[in-house]
Structure 1
Amino acid sequence: MAARYRAEDEYDYLFKLVLIGDSGVGKSNILSRFTKNEFNLESKSTIGVEFATRSLNIDGKVIKAQIWDTAGQERYRAITSAYYRGAVGALLVYDVTRHITFENVERWLRELRDHTDPNIVVMLIGNKSDLRHLVAVSVEEGKSLAERESLYFMETSALEATNVENAFAEVLTQIHRIVSKKAVETGEEGAASSALPKGETLNVKDDVSPLKRFGCCSS
């Protein structure tokens, strides 16, 4: 099995990802679960912006993700432009136990699209899937919205570490394939990575498989 990463400063690509969504949906715990494999039941609301990094081996390349996490409260909205600048991927998170956080997804999506490249890879995430007895947003609702808006979709549990790794890996994989495809089209060196076998780096459960968006990547 290949090493997950080499040294912290050795990587083939650096991709900026942003975590967005209402306050309290679990963005910070998703980040800490992915980057440190930690979960904090007492986590406080994020003040301003925090970011963390982690590297994964994707399609034979070391991809370093720089993940930005911000508070969902309105009073921090002034940081919007700087927060989104340079982002090539986003995880848009709602809480499956609070329908209002799902209703606000479209507002977050509008803001994201106003401030980022149209090719940004967006994963819609229904977090807190472990709270099954409190579910207010069904998997079908999440999938339906994702299909309508051409997003990828997964349900996660930062508490139980369910699909957190898969969600980030899928976003990074799709970003890498878009970058590789562009490199092939422009004839840049190192573009051969796009010809590598697809779908071998992930083990995503059927019931939460991401909805494919890009025609280049579904073959």
Structure 2
Amino acid sequence: MGSPSPHLNLSFKVLLIGDSAVGKSSLLHTFISASLHDLSPTIGVDFKIKQLTVGGKRLKLTIWDTAGQERFRSLTSSYYRGAQGIILVYDVTRRETFANLLDVWANEVELYLTDQDCVKMLVGNKVDRESERVVSREDGIALANKLGSLFFECSAKTRENVEKCFEELAIKIMEVPSFLEERSSLVKRSILRQKQEGQAQQSGGCCS
């Protein structure tokens, strides 16, 4: 068989994780829509779907936004299942949110992640507040290297790098052969099932 058709619709699951109030929901809403309004804290889990074209391929990203509060942690463990991409978010103006990525969230990823090919990305949010920054870009790059992840700094408020980070993640996910093969076989099975159902309906005429 040849490579997947450029018109093949690919669907990937991406998870946003990190401490409460680092701006996970804001990043997601900025990526999904043109406006950013005041957002209340995520209760448990929320998700949004975004369709985009990257590298000539049509993609559907289902992006799961998880609550950072400790009391919701048990609710989110199951959402790691089947994730092809994980974005670990911290606030560049709050050092503890950066430290917790290694102390808390990286351990959780290790514990719950079901696919070792999953692409990880570290994102430092709120770079529009440069005067309040306490986590340097160099610190972020060093942690990303330690975690084996991609690295971006973003601002949900000014939209800086927001689309770029999601698109770059999608590109890297598409470079994982097992994900493309998996999606291709799922699409083929779906088409085959539709054909079989269509044939069954045609041959299943009934007399009154």
TM over 0.5: yes
Change (3 A) 1:141 1:78: same
Q: Given the alignment, which residue of 94, 101, 104 partners 1:98?
A: 94
Q: Is the 8 A contact 1:18 1:68 kept in 2?
A: yes
Which residue identity is paired with 2:51?
Answer: S
**Secondary structure of 2:158 counterpart:** coil
Q: Secondary structure of the equivalent of 1:109?
A: helix
TM-fit CA distance, 1:37: 2.4
Deviations 1:18-57 (A, max 9, x none): 00000000000000000112212x3211111110011111
Could you tell me which residue of structure 2 aligns to residue 39 of structure 1?
36
Matched, 1:171 2:183: no
Question: Is the Cα–Cα contact under 8 Å of residues 15 and 65 in structure 2 kept in the other structure?
Answer: yes
Answer whether contact 1:57 1:63 (CA < 8 A) is retained. Answer: yes
The normalised TM-score by structure 1 is 0.76
Q: Structure 2: which 5+ runs fail to align?
A: 1-6, 188-208
Counterparts of residues 6-17 of structure 1 (less than 5 Å): 12-17=9-14
Higher radius of gyration, 1 or 2:
2
Q: Counterparts of 1:11 and 1:43 in 2: how far apart (Å)?
A: 35
C-alpha displacement of 1:123? 0.6
In structure 2, what residue type is equivalent to 1:37?
A
Tell me the distance in 2 between the aligned counterparts of 1:43 and 1:181: 33
CA spacing shift, 1:178–1:34, aligned 2, 3 Å: same
Q: Describe the shift of the 1:181–1:79 C-alpha distance in structure 2 as closer, same or farther (beyond 3 A).
A: closer
Structure 2 CA distance, aligned partners of 1:85 and 1:142? Answer: 26
- Equivalent runs, 1:1-219 vs 2, <5 Å: 12-40=9-37, 42-106=38-102, 107-116=104-113, 117-179=115-177, 183=181
The structure 1 segments of at least 4 consecutive aligned residues displaced by more than 2 Å after TM superposition are: 179-183
Change (3 A) 1:61 1:86: same
Identity %: 44
Give the number of the structure whose residues are more often helix, by fraction: 2
Query: Displacement of 1:182 after TM fit?
Result: 6.4
- Equivalent residue letter for 1:27: K
TM-score normalised by the chain length of structure 2? 0.80
Q: Does the C-alpha gap of structure 1 residues 63 and 101 become closer, same or farther in structure 2, counting only changes over 3 Å?
A: same
Q: Letter of the aligned partner of 1:160 in structure 2? A: T
Structure 1 letter corresponding to 2:9: D
Structure 2 distance, partners of 1:171, 1:127, is 16
Tell me the number of residue pairs that the alignment of Structure 1 and Structure 2 aligns: 176
CA contact (8 A) 1:11 1:64 kept: no
Shift of 1:92: 0.4
Structure 1: which amino acid aligns with 2:163?
E
Q: Which amino acid aligns with 2:96?
A: I
Distance 1:181 1:73 in 2: 31
**In structure 1, what residue type is equivalent to 2:86?**
A
Distance in 2 between residues matched to 1:54 and 1:181, nearest whole Å: 18
Match of 1:201 in 2: none
Query: How far does residue 64 in structure 1 lie from its aligned partner after superposition?
Result: 0.4
